[in-house]
Amino acid sequence: MQIAELLEWVNASQKWLTTHKVGPTLQKICEKRFGTSRQFIFPAETRFGGKLLQLKRFSDMREALQELVVSQSYTRHNFADDNVKDRISDNDLWQLIGRITKAAGPVLLLLRLGDANQATLSKLKGTVDYIKTLLVDTGEDTLEDKVAAAFHNRAEELECDVSSAAYLLDPQFVAKSRHAPPAVMSAFFRVSLSVLCPKGDDAVWRTLRQQLVTQLASFRMKTGGLAMEDYTMIDACVFWGAAGCYAPLLRQLAFALAALPCSSGEAERNWNEVKQNLVKNRNRLGSARLEKMVFV
């Protein structure tokens, strides 16, 4: 509730400041202090990551905002509906914003994965595990504890067999994935069975499984030809494109799994483009041309 009320106030204050003749003065102050103008961020209601960035931008403009509300060009207006000046001058406001952005900031790592137009599935589990180490619930019921508890309560929803299998194939997390728990290893072999042996032939699968174990061990321990590969490479598909000759089964799995996004963001962006192009006054637009326009 505390965070929701703050976000509502920041959003209303930004709108108030941009519609009460003080916007140009604020930009001049920003240019003087920061060397460039700065704009407020107005995220959509459903964009949690955007709301965090909104708070961060508002906090970064603290000195300019505090200078604005005591400037002559501001005070001479004597606004009757001013509920901004006193709170901007209050240090408690900025301490609260700082606590929220620091506590929830790590979640932005995860949100960036979901918003990226890239192959990010192999990064999902490693990122979630890393955020878990940063967000710790001490049990003291502080704001930070509530943020941590909320994340840990939802973290299980971000885990599935496919993301666990892709995680084991990502060179960026190889040091961590060597110690993967049995549940992750079981997920890896379940997914491998579906991808490499879709007919479920037991004899074929036993042979493939043994090869997988050998190739996975070579990859995780950096032995054989894989010892010469660059494990600092961020893109798992690029890594396996170069190193796959030493572990062909892992390469096949990586190309099937690591090439996937970790959210429906890309599909939703496509649907939005379709909605923008296929409107009432273009109701005779053919599907082939529509597809080309969305692609462009």
pLDDT for 4 beyond 90: no
Asked if pLDDT for residue 232 goes beyond 80, the answer is yes
CB 109 within 8 Å of CB 130: yes
Q: What one-letter code names the amino acid at 206?
A: R
168-208 pLDDT, tens digit each: 999 999 999 999 999 999 999 999 999 999 988 999 999 99
pLDDT of residue 287: 85
Write down the pLDDT at residue 263. 81
Note whether 64 and 38 are within 8 A (CB): yes
Among the ranges given (22-31, 41-50, 127-136), the one the predictor scored with the smallest mean pLDDT: 41-50
Looking at residue 209, its pLDDT comes to: 96
pLDDT at 187: 96
Q: Are 293 and 274 in contact (CB under 8 A)?
A: no
CB–CB of 177/171 below 8 Å?
A: no
Residue 121: is it exposed, middle or buried by C-beta count within 10 angstroms (0-12/13-18/19+)? Answer: buried
Task: Report the percent of the chain where pLDDT is more than 90.
Answer: 59
pLDDT of res. 1: 59
Least confident of 15-19, 77-81, 96-100: 77-81
